[in-house]
Amino acid sequence: MAHFAKLDENNVVTAVEAVANAVITDENGVEQEQLGVDFLRTLYKEPDAVWKKTSYNTREGTHRHSMQARVESDTQDKAFRKNYAGIGYTYDEVRDAFIPQPKPFASWVLNETKCVWEAPVAFPITNDTYFKDLNGNYLTKIITNPDLTIKQVSEVDIFLHATDPYNWDESSQSWVREPMWNSPITAEQQTQFETVNADYLNSL
């Protein structure tokens, strides 16, 4: 399945449509963007509409096998226009890239490689995963392989945050730790957490 973003007169994305691969494949078996553009113009009876192909599995300039697993593809020849287009994104003709909008904060700048907005101070990255108990307190943090932890714990459907809970504070120009949830998890979810956590730690 291929995806196309419709642009208005200001190059703002107003719609994203899926088109079957067969529609954009020519007689030589090669995908052609223009075939998809022509198809959508005919379908919607808008001969002058501007459509741009966009890659569903491309984020921050990188193509991934799966956006859920966030596993990078072996080759990056499928990385296309930096980011999968979303409603409200802008298309930059010079960079040939879809850029998220709006800009989150006035101080943030565009990363020219990834074409996403970034804070002037790097996000504090850790390998910590946190959970809350019934009283709203943090359970013991798991300092392990975060990807594997996410996979195992998400299977029992409990609340999860894969990194430290930081939010950007524009006034202080810094990342500030914030509470993660407005309400604690249920007794059933806590039991599920304890079971999965114990099994996981025993497997290390």
Rounded alpha-carbon distances, angstroms, from residue 134 to 137, 138, 178, 186, 203: 7, 9, 18, 6, 26
Q: Which two tokens stand for residue 95?
A: 């960079």
Rounded alpha-carbon distances, angstroms, from residue 92 to 10, 85, 112, 114, 179: 10, 12, 12, 13, 36
Q: How confident is the model at residue 160 (pLDDT cuts 50, 70, 90)?
A: very low
Other Cβ atoms within 10 Å of 110 Cβ, number: 16
Q: Model-level pTM?
A: 0.69
pLDDT digits (tens, 9 = 90+) for 34-85: 999 999 999 999 999 999 999 998 999 888 876 554 567 777 777 899 999 9
Amino acid identity, position 13 = V
Contact 178, 166 (CB under 8 A): yes
Q: Which two tokens stand for residue 32?
A: 């052609």
Q: What is the dihedral of CA 60, 61, 64, 70, to 10 degrees?
A: -20
- Which residues, in sequence order, are bridge partners of residue 142? 129
